[in-house]
Amino acid sequence: MFNQIAYDGTPFVIAEVGQNHQGDLDIAREYIRIFAFEGADTVKFQTRNNRYLFSKDAYEADYASENAFADTYGAHREKLELKPEWLPILKEDCIKNGVKFMSTPFDEPSLKLLEEIDVDILKVASFDLGNLPFIHRIASLGKPVVMSVGGGRIDQIRSSVEVLLNHHDEVAILHCVSEYPCEYNRLGLDNIELLIREFPGCVIGSSDHFNGTLSGPVAYLKGARVFEKHVTLNRAWKGTDHSFALEPDGFRKFVRDIKRVRHMMTPKPADDLGNERVFNKLGKSLIAYVDIKVGEKITLDSLSGRIFNTQYIPVRESNQVIGRVAKRNIAQGEAIQYVDLES
């Protein structure tokens, strides 16, 4: 999958729901329907077993935040988790809507759940960059893997990529700045080129937490081909990730503009140059600026241009005329034709 993307330049766009479904199955399903329609190639969720992931004291820690769904951090997280029995439903919804089902496992029990439902694509979060044992377990499932490298040193990225490539080469590495939100002047998109040079065996992409759409087209110009963008159905909803996520209209523009950039870069065929309608209507033809006598060599001072209903020699071909010799007398203001000139 990613090898084909690297070959033909087709952008692959991930709609990252994360936990913006508010812990509600119906809302989660709505994300799939809406963002598949808006152009996503895959819809991504996050999967956690909080009792496994957090120590007892971290799970039971007080949590006071305007975005809190409960009084302790563990209870807060549980309110926002996908229940295991929902995963097959969401996978089936993705199939029906023509997109891949993707998730980030944050722990081994969650990875096992995703294996059981035959997840299409797995994600390694920036938080697990360098966590070689867990990356090994993820890659061993043989599924395409996307890995964000936010906050990572190059040696940590290298060792993580090496573990992934020891299993298979369906790997995408995403440049990422782990700031929520990330201001435009902190995106660091030049790093995409560094990753391309460093990891020629992987497709390179971008995961950003910028609350606009311009980052996608710019990242494509830098060489990114996989794009992850947080999405929401309502930026005003309670939660830490809604404010910088794209609503459906914004996501549609994000996808549209990335795809447009790709086509903007396609060179125009040489035989199309100069054939635009405007040149046929308003293009100037060469005329004699002064009387030109038979046997006289055409010079820069001999020529000018004028618009005719019938086009003769276009002025842009004057380089083909200057230096040639007139075969007949050509009056001032008269259109010049190739038959009037010696070869």
The pLDDT assigned to 190 comes to 87
Is the domain covering 271-340 a CATH 3.90.1210.10 domain? yes
Is the domain covering 2-264 a CATH 3.30.70.1070 domain? no
Q: Which two tokens stand for residue 257?
A: 């503009």
The pLDDT assigned to 271 comes to 67
274 has pLDDT over 90: no
Residues 6+ positions from 106 with CB-CB distance below 8 Å: 46, 47, 48, 49, 53, 125, 127, 128
311 has pLDDT over 90: no
Tally Cβ neighbours within 10 Å of residue 116: 11
Cα torsion 29, 35, 36, 38: sign = positive
Residue-wise pLDDT for 239-272, tens only, equals 888 989 999 999 999 999 999 998 888 787 766 6
What letter would DSSP give residue 152? -
**Nearest Cα residue to 334 out of 292, 285, 288:** 288
Residue-wise pLDDT for 276-297, tens only, equals 676 777 889 999 999 999 999 9
Domain extent listing, the chain:
2-264, 271-340
Bond preceding residue 269 cis, omega within 30 of 0: no
**What's the whole-model pTM score?**
0.84
Residues 6+ positions from 52 with CB-CB distance below 8 Å: 107, 108, 109
Q: Which residue(s) pair with 341 in the sheet?
A: 326
Lowest-pLDDT range of 130-134, 187-191, 265-269: 265-269
Higher local confidence (pLDDT), 209 or 172: 172
